[in-house]
Structure 1
Amino acid sequence: MYTFLGGIILLIVGYFTYGKFVEKMFGVKEDRTTPAYVNKDDVDYVPMSTKKNALIQLLNIAGVGPIFGPIMGALYGPVAFIWIVFGAIFAGAVHDYLTGMISIRNRGAHLPELAGKFLGKIMKHVVNVFAILLLLLVGTVFVSSPATLIYNLMDGWMAMGAIVAVIFMYYILATLLPIDKIIGRFYPIFGALLIISAVGVLVQLVLTGAPIPELTFKNMHPDNLPIFPLLFLTISCGALSGFHATQTPIISRTTQSEKQGRKIFYGMMIAEGVIAMIWAAAAMSLFNGYDGLNDMLANGGPAAIVSEASILLLGSIGGTLAIIGVIILPITSGDTAFRSARMIIADYFNLAQKKMTSRLWIALPLFVLSFALTKIDFTLLWRYFSWANQSTAAIALWVGAMYLFIAKKNYWIAMIPAIFITMATTTYIINAPIGFGLSLNAAYIGATIITLLIIVLFFNAAKKNRAANIPLEEDISKWSDSK
């Protein structure tokens, strides 16, 4: 219990200390007009309040990641708490803040465009394909997982196919309509429900004296799977997630002032870390140890853990509300995954999105592909999602490091986590059966060589970019001219 509560306290302290340090180092320009006003189109560029943007950002980035990921990561024991806490403070929140703020400085640009500007034109094309793939996987995973929860909650009263169809219909509407019509109107309510349900689980864990294990670096996984790199890909959204780099530009286009950035981007990642801590603790303490948790995951998956834990801790009524809160999470990330994919494709081909038909022709093929992916095993999808997700996080952190290097600022705050997650994702893909399937030792050696090569390439490119005086932000007057 002490490790758990101490971790939550550290997350909160991290927001007020390291978060403030990152904000000050980046250098907020309060008087600089944001894209929400300069490029206002009443579809994607719409000024909204800090409270709305913060709650929308939380729901956008959360999905089932800070719940399903920590539940599966709980098999490794309390070492999962360490990754959630320090990952969120020093990697995830920095990742979210930098991608959000750099996007604001560049017309609300998405990651492919930022990668092209700061890492080279080839990277724009690579990251564009990578981001679309990731968003398709996210959208698909976030159809399957809430559909399973709804099916269980309704005790099979409604067919799974019908539930999936309803979720897809909602996604189509949320992807096509202006952001303030559905997302801006209902997300603050959903966000409140999410926070209330998480707090309810937290309070019950404390009041019932749940046997949450204390810190140990021993591998507790029943199958003895290696902590590095698997833990750092299994728990992503609760600590560091590349998916967030696809979501922050949605809110960078609705942010009223750069001063709001720390609350919206850094702060909501910390909030997600707290949610991840709560569900990791519940998974570790309620199912008779790691063998019991492993058995439940094998038989019913993370959704079964959520349902069982919610009812055990909060009773039938409170548990049902908590489950509804968890169902909302993936749905409110799945819709913005498709919305983000539409925006990235539109930016790539320079297609205006003012007309509904322009949005429709981009969105429909995405939904057809996603529906086809729902026929694939969830576990397999999650493995590919985890790798694609953390690889995207690495790219986003390298973009942030490059921006700060050119600006002659402390680029190490982005570069250190970039190196770490590059090493983790490369190790995974070399070792994993879905990758090259080599031995773990070979994966460690190969990943080290590749990571060192990337570091060398980064510094070579960074020095050239600084000498070339690449502009860090776009001229606002040009935005107005091209509007």
Structure 2
Amino acid sequence: MLWFLLCVGLLIGGYFIYGTFVEKVFGINKARQTPAYAQNDGVDYVPMSQSKVYLIQLLNIAGVGPIFGPILGALYGPAAMLWIVIGCIFAGAVHDYFSGMLSVRNGGQSVPNLAGKYLGKNAKNFMNIFALVLLLLVGVVFISAPAGLLGKLTGLSVTMFVGIIFVYYLIATIVPVDKIIGRLYPFFGALLLFMSVGLTIAIVASDEHTLLSGFGPADFFQNLNPKDAPLWPALFITIACGAISGFHATQSPLMARCVENEANGRFVFYGAMIGEGIIALIWCAIALSFFGGVEGLNEGMGGNPANVVYSASTGLLGTVGGFLAVLGVIVLPITSGDTAFRSARLILAEYFDMKQTQMSKRLLLAIPLFIIGGVLTQVDFGIIWRYFGVANQATAVMMLWTASAYLMRANKLHWICTIPAMFMTTVVFSFLLNSQTLGAGLPMTLSTVAGIVITAVVTGLVFYISKGKDAAISAEEA
């Protein structure tokens, strides 16, 4: 119990201490007009209050990632919780803050345009393709997962729920952001709050289950995986959304178009990631505690983290409470899936320079995306999740390097982004080189050494681009 509270306390402390430091390095301008007012179009650029934007941002970024990822990561033991805390404070929340605030400073532009501006045209082209692929994978994952849970919860056809969610996604993708997303999310937020707080109180009060019982300080630095799966670098790919997630870089510009003042950025962007980190901690702790350790978790999961969600929710809260808790879990991917397709539409709109004030133009971009998404739902969920994990962290790497390049150009403390960018670059390349299914299948030591070398080359390239004679940015932009 104390270990869990300590981890939550560190996350909250990180928001107030390190989050304030990051905000100071960026340098907010309270007098600067935000895109919500400067480009108000009544569709995507709409001013909304700080509390509403925060809630939407949290629900946008918190799909099944901060639930399924930490459950899968819990198989490694409490080390997963350590990564959630450190990764969230020093990498994930920094990543989210800069993806949001750089968008605010650049008229609400999406991550491909930001990458192009600070890293060059090739980076922009790469990110346009990569971001669209990631968003389609996210949209598909966030259709399949909630549809499967709804089918398990009701006993009705999963295919029927896939169709219903698809229709909702299409509507939410094309209507003004304040009509559905801005109105439904407060209700969804209440479900999320019930799920998070209710499950935590239930397991603390339980006579049968004790929170993190049997784990000591040394366990936080050991690999307890029952199948002896290597912790490095798989843990840092498996736990994405709870620690750092490139998907968030595609979502932050949505709310960058709605924030009323730059001073709201720390609460909205850095703070929402801290909130997601707490959700991830809750599910990691429940996964480790409800089944009595990693061996029991492995057996109870049965290869699908959705089984853990259902068993823990109904086991701790009973039939009615468990039903509401599972609904809270279902809400998370649905409130990220709709904005995934919305983000994809806006990235295409920027690429083709197509204004989105007319419904016909929004449909022109949205319908092909949904056709491709419908085809991808026929692919095995496990395969989609695997590719999503790698694409997700690779996108995070690009966003961190983009932020680092911006800070270098502005002569600010770039190391707050450069260090996590270097670490995650090594993680991604080491994983790809070692992976038997997605990469080259090289030995782990060789893969890690090669990952470090590639990271050094990438770091040198970013320094070269950012310190060139034409690299300086305007005082107003800085």
Q: Give 5+ residue unaligned stretches, structure 2.
A: none
Q: Secondary structure at the match of 1:63?
A: coil
d(CA) in 2 for partners of 1:349, 1:57? 26
Name 2:432's counterpart in structure 1: 429
Name 2:48's counterpart in structure 1: 48
Q: Does 1:444 align with 2:444?
A: no
Name 2:295's counterpart in structure 1: 291
After superposition, give the CA deviation of every residue in 1:450-477 in whole Å (9 maximum; x if it has no partner).
1110011111111116x542347669xx
Contact 1:105 1:473 in 2 (8 A): no
After superposition, give the CA deviation of every residue in 1:310-346 in whole Å (9 maximum; x if it has no partner).
1111111111111100000000000000000000010
1:320 to 318, 323, 333: 323
> Following TM superposition, by how much is the alpha carbon of 1:51 offset from its aligned partner in structure 2, in angstroms?
0.9
> Following TM superposition, by how much is the alpha carbon of 1:228 offset from its aligned partner in structure 2, in angstroms?
1.2
d(CA) in 1 for partners of 2:82, 2:95? 18
Q: Which moved more, 1:306-315 or 1:434-443?
A: 434-443
d(CA) in 2 for partners of 1:150, 1:134? 24
Q: Cα distance 1:474–1:89, how it changes in 2: closer, same or farther (>3 A)? A: closer
Q: Which moved more, 1:206-215 or 1:228-237?
A: 206-215
2:467 to 463, 474, 481: 463
Contact 1:2 1:214 in 2 (8 A): no
Name 1:186's counterpart in structure 2: 184
Letter in 1 for 2:194: I
Q: Does 1:71 align with 2:71?
A: yes
> Following TM superposition, by how much is the alpha carbon of 1:287 offset from its aligned partner in structure 2, in angstroms?
1.3
Name 1:177's counterpart in structure 2: 175
Normalised by the length of structure 2, the TM-score is 0.96
d(CA) in 1 for partners of 2:158, 2:191? 25
1:387 to 377, 390, 406: 390
Name 2:152's counterpart in structure 1: 152
Contact 2:410 2:473 in 1 (8 A): no
d(CA) in 2 for partners of 1:186, 1:427? 41
> Following TM superposition, by how much is the alpha carbon of 1:206 offset from its aligned partner in structure 2, in angstroms?
2.0
Q: Cα distance 1:329–1:19, how it changes in 2: closer, same or farther (>3 A)? A: same
* Mapping for residues 262-341 of structure 1, pairs under 5 Å: 262-298=266-302, 301-341=304-344
Letter in 1 for 2:172: A
Name 1:98's counterpart in structure 2: 98
After superposition, give the CA deviation of every residue in 1:157-210 in whole Å (9 maximum; x if it has no partner).
x21111100000000000010000100011122112202220111112222262
d(CA) in 1 for partners of 2:477, 2:347? 18
Contact 1:37 1:46 in 2 (8 A): yes
Letter in 1 for 2:438: I
Letter in 2 for 1:166: I
Name 2:4's counterpart in structure 1: 4
* Mapping for residues 27-426 of structure 1, pairs under 5 Å: 27-154=27-154, 156=155, 158-208=156-206, 210-212=210-212, 213-215=215-217, 216=219, 217-298=221-302, 301-426=304-429
> Following TM superposition, by how much is the alpha carbon of 1:296 offset from its aligned partner in structure 2, in angstroms?
2.6
> Following TM superposition, by how much is the alpha carbon of 1:378 offset from its aligned partner in structure 2, in angstroms?
1.0
Q: Cα distance 1:207–1:113, how it changes in 2: closer, same or farther (>3 A)? A: same
d(CA) in 1 for partners of 2:216, 2:193? 25
Contact 1:63 1:142 in 2 (8 A): yes
> Following TM superposition, by how much is the alpha carbon of 1:151 offset from its aligned partner in structure 2, in angstroms?
0.5
Contact 1:60 1:333 in 2 (8 A): yes
Q: Give 5+ residue unaligned stretches, structure 1.
A: 476-483
Contact 1:311 1:319 in 2 (8 A): yes
After superposition, give the CA deviation of every residue in 1:358-379 in whole Å (9 maximum; x if it has no partner).
0101111111111111111111
Letter in 2 for 1:304: N
Name 1:481's counterpart in structure 2: none
Contact 2:59 2:189 in 1 (8 A): yes
d(CA) in 2 for partners of 1:415, 1:46? 33
> Following TM superposition, by how much is the alpha carbon of 1:288 offset from its aligned partner in structure 2, in angstroms?
3.2
Letter in 1 for 2:357: K
After superposition, give the CA deviation of every residue in 1:398-442 in whole Å (9 maximum; x if it has no partner).
011111111111110011100011100111111112112222122
d(CA) in 1 for partners of 2:203, 2:409? 47
Q: Which moved more, 1:111-120 or 1:431-440?
A: 431-440
Q: Cα distance 1:148–1:214, how it changes in 2: closer, same or farther (>3 A)? A: farther
Q: Cα distance 1:214–1:2, how it changes in 2: closer, same or farther (>3 A)? A: farther
> Following TM superposition, by how much is the alpha carbon of 1:122 offset from its aligned partner in structure 2, in angstroms?
1.0
Letter in 1 for 2:20: K
Letter in 1 for 2:240: S
Contact 1:310 1:318 in 2 (8 A): yes
d(CA) in 1 for partners of 2:211, 2:281? 14
d(CA) in 2 for partners of 1:137, 1:420? 24
d(CA) in 2 for partners of 1:406, 1:450? 23
Name 1:478's counterpart in structure 2: none
Normalised by the length of structure 1, the TM-score is 0.95
d(CA) in 1 for partners of 2:141, 2:226? 25
d(CA) in 1 for partners of 2:102, 2:332? 26
d(CA) in 2 for partners of 1:322, 1:127? 36
Name 1:479's counterpart in structure 2: none
Total equivalences in the alignment: 471
d(CA) in 2 for partners of 1:383, 1:473? 42
Q: Cα distance 1:370–1:429, how it changes in 2: closer, same or farther (>3 A)? A: same
d(CA) in 1 for partners of 2:30, 2:440? 48
* Mapping for residues 464-483 of structure 1, pairs under 5 Å: 464=468, 467-471=470-474
Contact 1:60 1:336 in 2 (8 A): yes
Contact 1:107 1:474 in 2 (8 A): no
d(CA) in 2 for partners of 1:472, 1:161? 54
> Following TM superposition, by how much is the alpha carbon of 1:218 offset from its aligned partner in structure 2, in angstroms?
1.6
Letter in 2 for 1:368: I
